[in-house]
Amino acid sequence: MANSESELNDNIHRDFYIPTYILAPDAPNKSRHIALPDNVPTCPVLVFINSKSGGQLGGELLRTFRHLLNKYQVFDLGEEAPDSVLRSVYLNIEKLKSGGDQFAAKTEERMRIIVAGGDGTAGWLLGVVSDLKLSQPPPIATVPLGTGNNLPFAFGWGKKNPGTDLNSVISFLKQVMNAKEMKMDSWHILMRMRAPKGGSCDPIAPLELPHSLHAFHRVSPSDELNVEGFHTFRGGFWNYFSMGMDAQVSYAFHSERKMNPEKFKNQLVNQSAYLKLGCTQGWFFAPLVHPSSRNIAQLTKVKIMKKQGEWQDLQIPHSVRSIVCLNLPSFSGGLNPWGTPNNNKRRYRDLTPPFVDDGLLEVVGFRDAWHGLVLLAPKGHGTRLAQAHRIRFEFHKGAADHTFMRIDGEPWKQPLPEDDDTVVVEISHLGQVKMLATRDCRAKSIHDPSSHINHEADDVESDDENSVDEGRRKFGAADTFKIPDEVDVSRLS
């Protein structure tokens, strides 16, 4: 047993362990390895864990990783911000490289990042890596710990946490070592509005916006993003931007969890609560309880850009209550609202499969939760509206004083104009980040020839508006309106 444990530790050190002098040069009792190329770990990893995600799972995962690896290469995001950590590590690596340290240079070349948390946590770290403009940005693997887990699911890491015990973590590390690199598009989002004055939205300084959308500090009066008398916010996302009833349910869930965190201690409980809120918020009975003034076509004018410099109006069906701008083939718990358009759709509507690195967002509409049920059927999909490089939403004075928006799982309540002002949300392609993916992941690259083989395209033409009947005979769909397999339906009333 002792020999087996010793062999395990030797393997972990050989493959994943980063010596302290690279990570924390000022740490006491630092040990410097001999800088020989064959001593460099096969797959050196930096691990970031949101200890508050997944109920108790985050804390357990943190303890297991710190038991296996150097404690200085495992970080609790509740205590240390990823930007300061990465800046410190990479500055130290640069100093070591300038002194001729080949061990540090090789470690940087092979570096990989693991982030454990919800989609918001993963997006936070992706944004930091993008913003730091590292000369050799490390690819990133995501451990599912949240409620939706769309990012890890799209790249093959699953919907549920793979386990926090020693064997599960070792198995995950081996998967990371054997993973392939993929590029993924990132998207810039800009929102401009007048400072909210209060009212029904109860804004907080001035809004309770997600991490990925932060105040933009004007650099000069001539900057084209600055508009006198308005607040401009900008940020980025990697999976989706959505607006409407799905974001409303998400906002209700996040508000409830914030007020009563003790009630949300594991993924199953969280998903059950999400389902109940989908019912109480009226998502299943939208035609009866949801005012038509809050339907997407009544709330906003939508413009899209398919070719550089050419804006065109996008016609939204009047029945659509939720609109999703999707980068990955995974939304609200792993479903693919876009599907795979058949040859006729590709020919006559210029629609393509959902590649994660083609510089296009898929724009999909839903009428209500029942419409979402078609995603459970083979080849089911939402109402395909468009694919675009840029999308612009313009909100003018109307019957509604607010709507709900969501970026990568993080929702907020957005005030809408009360007079002749305009609230503008504009999304444009920003760049790409490097992800780690399993060999059989759902995400597909436009540069991979095998991705263009049409295995699962829609074989039968159908009217999106009439394709709900089959879905109505099932119960469940996306996270917003999906019952987890483990939940007893009879106990949900």
Give the pLDDT band (50/70/90) at residue 480. very low
Q: Identify the CA nearest to 367 among candidates 385, 391, 353, 348.
A: 385
Domain range enclosing 49: 1-178
Over 50: is that where the pLDDT of 466 sits? no
Q: Taking residues 408-413, report their average pLDDT.
A: 82
Q: Which two tokens stand for residue 262?
A: 């003790």
Q: Which residue has the higher pLDDT, 489 or 281?
A: 281
Over 50: is that where the pLDDT of 313 sits? yes
What CA dihedral angle connects 236, 240, 246 and 249, to 10 degrees?
Answer: -50
129 and 158 in a common domain: yes
Dihedral of alpha carbons 303, 390, 318, 277, sign = negative
Give the pLDDT band (50/70/90) at residue 106. very high
Share of the chain above pLDDT 70, in %: 65
Is 352 a domain residue?
Answer: yes
Is 152 a domain residue?
Answer: yes
The domain boundary, picked from 120, 149, 178, lies at 178
| Integer Cα distance of 322 and 336 in angstroms | 15
What's the confidence (pLDDT) of residue 475? 18
Is 142 a domain residue?
Answer: yes
Over 60: is that where the pLDDT of 44 sits? yes
Is 473 a domain residue?
Answer: no
The domain boundary, picked from 437, 455, 477, lies at 437
379 and 300 in a common domain: yes
198 and 123 in a common domain: no
The Cα-based distances of 112 to 71, 138, 417 in angstroms read 16, 5, 45
204 and 333 in a common domain: yes
Q: Which two tokens stand for residue 337?
A: 């609202």
Strand segments (E) across 295-417 = 300-307, 310-313, 322-326, 361-366, 383-388, 390-395, 402-407, 410-415
Question: Over the chain, what is the mean pLDDT?
Answer: 75
160 and 52 in a common domain: yes
What's the confidence (pLDDT) of residue 92? 94
416 and 273 in a common domain: yes
Q: Which residue has the higher pLDDT, 170 or 249?
A: 170
| Integer Cα distance of 238 and 222 in angstroms | 30
Cβ–Cβ under 8 Å, residues 362 and 382: no
pTM here is 0.76
173 and 254 in a common domain: no
190 and 174 in a common domain: no
Give the count of domains, the chain: 2
What's the confidence (pLDDT) of residue 451? 60
What's the CATH code of the domain at 172?
3.40.50
271 and 160 in a common domain: no
Is 23 a domain residue?
Answer: yes
Cβ–Cβ under 8 Å, residues 338 and 362: yes
Over 80: is that where the pLDDT of 125 sits? yes
Is 451 a domain residue?
Answer: no
Over 80: is that where the pLDDT of 271 sits? no
Over 80: is that where the pLDDT of 101 sits? yes
The Cα-based distances of 263 to 73, 260, 268, 448 in angstroms read 32, 6, 11, 44
Q: Taking residues 341-350, report their average pLDDT.
A: 65
Secondary structure of residue 144 in the 3-state scheme: strand
The Cα-based distances of 369 to 8, 278, 463 in angstroms read 49, 8, 18
Over 90: is that where the pLDDT of 94 sits? yes
What's the confidence (pLDDT) of residue 412? 86
The domain boundary, picked from 130, 162, 178, lies at 178
Give residue 87's identity as a one-letter amino acid code: R
231 Cβ contact partners less than 8 Å away, ≥ 6 residues apart: 192, 193, 194, 195, 206, 215
- Strand-pair partners of 156: none
| Integer Cα distance of 178 and 437 in angstroms | 9
190 and 154 in a common domain: no
What's the confidence (pLDDT) of residue 473? 24
Is 468 a domain residue?
Answer: no
pLDDT single digits (tens) 173-199: 999 999 999 999 999 888 887 755 554
Q: Taking residues 109-120, report their average pLDDT.
A: 92
45-49, 190-194, 241-245, 299-303: least confidently modelled range: 190-194
Helices 119-132/82-98 angle, 10° precision: 40
First to last CA, the chain: 51
Other CB atoms within 10 Å distance of the CB of residue 484: 18
Q: Which two tokens stand for residue 166?
A: 């020693």
What single-letter DSSP state applies at residue 294?
A: G
Q: What are phi and psi of 402, to 5 degrees?
A: -160, 165
Biggest CA pair distance of the chain: 75
Give the pLDDT band (50/70/90) at residue 121. confident
212 and 279 in a common domain: yes
Q: Which residue has the higher pLDDT, 417 or 153?
A: 153
Is 448 a domain residue?
Answer: no
93-102, 372-381, 423-432: least confidently modelled range: 372-381
19 and 102 in a common domain: yes
